[in-house]
Structure formats: structure tokens, C-alpha cells
Structure 1
Amino acid sequence: MKRTHLPLNGLRVLDAAARYLSFTRAADELAVTPAAVGQQIRTLEDVLGVVLFRRTAKGLELTPEAAAGLDPLRQGFLQFEEAVRAMQAQQSSKRLTIAAPRDFTAKWLAPRLADYGRTDDELGFHLVAADESLDFTQANLDLAVCLTKDKGEHEGVMLGARGHVTIGRADGADRAIGWPGCLQADRDPVITVADAGLAIDAAAAGLGRATVPALLAGDDLASGRVVEFGRVDCDRAYWLVAPVPQWRQKKVKALVAALTA
């Protein structure tokens, strides 16, 4: 019999009924009705082609065929339990692998991870650069950050609000600073840099004005390193995303709560 066709529910019912020699007590353990236990046993007998129980004057008893398979069946269930425990063991790990754009990591994520890390000495982070095609399985990711219109096919939450801000030094040049994805790419830039984080640094140096995601510039604006010259509407925002299994992990939930507090 192929593994994919193993009647696992029926075998679980067989194990319980064999321990109690009672469909009623087995039903109590499994939180089903005695009739459901009886139906599962009959279905299992049909699948296996053997009789598993007989009713006698003394009550229910196992057939020799059923008795012959009980020990390996129970060993198998024990191995299933060990497999589940092994898979769940990683839940106790507090190390998270996060994919994010490099500029987002430098300007926003890293300082907040540092603050969060100080709350628990067991916390650890592995940061990787995000690309356009996130493969959570291949990269073994727990969480990712994307600058996008919505969360897409994954679970997710938006960080901050949508929109870009134009920033620079009060005494800096009134020339555009360009970067890939810049909303003012049509202006003749005084300098072009690799990402929005470097654009912020160039603006802080007085080279010109950069239009960047508002969330990314928040800390530099708050510190007075740059000043704001206006806002620009944009349908993109930074999103924390993950597939459902990763999103439901306790360590991911805790980090998401900390980053969105």
C-alpha cells in the first residue's frame, strides 16, 4: 500500500479501540461517537481485507490479524510523535531570517531590530538582501519586507503610511538626487545613487534634494539631519509579508508586533 493511501484515521481509531476493547471508551478518547468508531473500523476492515474485532459473550476481542499488527502500529505512532516534536523544535528557536532591501535595513530596520534584540538575549537575526522574486522555501525565510502596492499572495501588514517625501538640507542645493525607482526621475539629477538610503545621505550632505519613501526618511527628519520640502503621493508602501505557515510562528508574530507597535 502506498504511503499516500495509508488509512491513518482508521489506524488511529484501531489503536484506541484495541487499548480499551470498547468502541464507547475509544469514542470518548477521540471525541467522536461510538457509531463513528464502528464506521471507521468497518471501513478499515474493508481497506485491509481483514476482520479486526469480534464480539463474544465476554465483549469485544481482537482477531489474530489485528493483534499481529498492533505493536508495529504503535511504534509507528511513536515515530510520528517524534517527527512532529522535531518539526516543532524550531519553534523554540528565536533566530529569524529576514529579507529586506538594503536601504530599508540600514535606515529603518536595523536600529529597530537592535532595540527589539535588547529585550531578549536569545533573539538573533539573519538579514539578507531582498530581490524581486521572494522564495521563502529556498531562502529559508521567516519574514520579508517589500516596497509594493499590497501584500500580494502572502499574509502581511503595512508599515507606516503610503507616500514619499522630498528632503534635503536647508542650505543644500536645489537639484534632484536620482535613484532607481525615484518618483522625480524626469528631473535632471545632480547625482544618481544606488538606492533611496544613499539618496537620503546625499541629501544630508547638501548635494541636493531626494524624494524617497516617507518611512525611510523618518529618523533623519526627526533628528534634524534633513528637512522636508514637500510630500508626493505614491501607491507603494513597505510591507512585512510571509506565507501563512511562517506568519503563524510565535517568533514572527512577536517581531511583527514589535515592529508595528
Structure 2
Amino acid sequence: MKRTHLPLNALRVFDAAARHLSFTRAADELAVTPAAVGQQIRALEDVLGVVLFRRTSKGLELTPEGEAGLDPLREGFLRFEESVAAMQAGQASDRYTIAVPREFYAEWLAPRLAVFQAGTPGVQYILAPDEHADFTEANLDIAIRLADGPGDLMGVQLAPAMRVTVAAPSYREAWIDWPGMALPEGVNPCIRAGSPGQALASALAGMG
């Protein structure tokens, strides 16, 4: 029998929203915004062709269709957890999957991770190939992102937004440009980099 594609992330969001009967509390549990929860629920309703929640004067409530699928869904999630535990049995549990921009990893995280690794032998680190990977699909433990805001995710700000001039001790009298950087009027950059990381690496190499 052909298996249908299951929107597992949306189903996980539905389970949390059904338990709390609140998109806000479900968002807190899943570390996303209430808007992201609402989008996932609407997308799931579109896929299933049914309405799962209704808003009433008393708050959010499940429809009969949503109620009918809840117990089998939770049993399925329990089976998933048992399956994962069985596959992980006998393997090391000390592993962390990290998504991080390449330049940030090379210049900042890798040296600090090396120090941490030296003091915690036996820990395995898995670096996700996609720095913008989805938390659920990639099974991330932590992600570091260069962004103006958290977007659909909740996170901790590592550093405040600021503008600084970076150059090597023997730098050229020239400017480096990258997307999102507004150079002074009339300045013709020597390099147009494709990312902040490329621009930083070029500056540290003495190119501008």
C-alpha cells in the first residue's frame, strides 16, 4: 500500500495546540511564535480538508474532526519515540547537532568549541550542512543565525546590532561592500562580497 506524505511538523504543532487549547502556550512549548503556530494549523487544515479549531467566546476549542484524530495521533507520536529510543539504544547520547554560518563557525565558534571539547571528551558534534535548516526536520539542538530578528523562532541575542570598522593592521585604503551594507555616498568599493562573512575575511586579510 502506498504511504501518504505525513506533515509531521504540522501534526506536532496541532498536538501542542490541542493540549493547551492556546496557540500562544503551544508556541511557548515549541519555541516559535503564535503566528507560526497559526500558519501550521491553517496549512494542516488545508491538507486535511477539515477545520480543526474554532474560536469561541470562551477561547479555543477543538472541532469534532480535530477531536476524532487526536488520540490516534498521540499514540503514533508515542510509537515514534519508542522507535527512536530503540534505534539509539547502545549508542552515545552525548551528541549535539548545530546549524551555524560557515564564516561565524570558522572565526568564532570553532576555537571556543575546541576548548569545550577538550574538557568534555566523548561528546560528538554534528554540523548541519544548511545553516538555515528547520529545527524539527534537521533535529537541531542549537542554531546560530545572523539575522535582524528571531522571525518565527525564539532565541537568545548573542550580541547587539552594531556597525564597526574592521581592517587588518596593514589594510588598503579601500572599502568592501556586501548586501545590506550602505557605503558612504560616492565610495567605489574595491570588493563586492556576497555575504558579511566574506567581507570580514577580506578585511582581515588586509584587502580593505
- TM-score (structure 2 length as normaliser): 0.50
Distance 1:206 1:111, change over 3 A: same
Counterpart for residue 127 of structure 1: 127
SS at match of 2:127: strand
Counterpart for residue 151 of structure 2: 152
Sequence identity (%): 37
Pairwise CA distance, 1:121:
0.9
1:208-260 CA distance string (max 9 Å, x none): 1xxxxxxxxxxxxxxxxxxxxxxxxxxxxxxxxxxxxxxxxxxxxxxxxxxxx
Contact in 2 for aligned 1:106/1:197 (Cα 8 Å): no
Query: Using the alignment, how far apart are the partners of 1:190 and 1:165 within structure 2?
Result: 18
Pairwise CA distance, 1:205:
2.8
Counterpart for residue 202 of structure 2: 202
1:137-174 CA distance string (max 9 Å, x none): 22222211111233333331111222121111344222
> How do residues 25-44 of structure 1 correspond to structure 2 at under 5 angstroms?
none
Q: How many positions carry a matched residue from both structures?
A: 128
Unaligned stretches of 5+ residues in structure 1: 1-78, 209-261
Pairwise CA distance, 1:185:
8.4
Counterpart for residue 165 of structure 1: 164
Higher strand share: 1
Contact in 2 for aligned 1:175/1:189 (Cα 8 Å): yes
Contact in 1 for aligned 2:131/2:143 (Cα 8 Å): no
Contact in 1 for aligned 2:101/2:131 (Cα 8 Å): yes
Structure of greater relative contact order (alpha carbons < 8 Å, 6+ residues apart): 1
In angstroms, what is the RMSD of aligned CA positions?
A: 3.3
- TM-score (structure 1 length as normaliser): 0.41
Query: Using the alignment, how far apart are the partners of 2:158 and 2:100 within structure 1?
Result: 13
Counterpart for residue 137 of structure 1: 136
1:149-202 CA distance string (max 9 Å, x none): 333333311112221211113442221112333343864210123333332232
Distance 1:100 1:85, change over 3 A: closer
Counterpart for residue 113 of structure 2: 113
> How do residues 85-100 of structure 1 correspond to structure 2 at under 5 angstroms?
86=85, 93-100=93-100
Distance 1:138 1:114, change over 3 A: same
Contact in 2 for aligned 1:177/1:192 (Cα 8 Å): yes
Report which of the two structures shows the higher radius of gyration computed on alpha carbons. Answer: 1
Distance 1:85 1:147, change over 3 A: closer
1:102-156 CA distance string (max 9 Å, x none): 1111111111111111121121111124455x41222222211111233333331
